Amino acid sequence: MIIGKEGYLNNAPKPLKNTFEQILSIIKKALKLSINGLKKTSLYIKLIGLISNPNYVSMAYIYHRKIRVQDTDATGVLYFANQLQIGLEAFEEFLNNKNFSLQSMIEEKAFLLPIVHTKADFSHPIVLGDLLSLHLQISHIGTSSFSHSSTLHKEDLLVGTTLITHVVYCPQTKSSKPIPPGLLHLLKSA
Active site residue ranges: 73
The candidate with the shortest Cα–Cα distance to 132, out of 149, 161, 153, 150, is 153
Task: Please work out, in degrees rounded to the nearest 5, the angle formed at the alpha carbon of residue 145 by the alpha carbons of 143 and 147.
Answer: 125
The C-alpha atoms of residue 186 and residue 66 are separated, in whole angstroms, by 27
Is residue 186 a contact partner of residue 170, using CB atoms and an 8 Å limit? no
Contact between residue 118 and residue 160 where contact means Cβ atoms under 8 Å apart: no
What separation in angstroms does the CA of 189 have from each of 28, 59, 94, 162? 29, 9, 12, 21
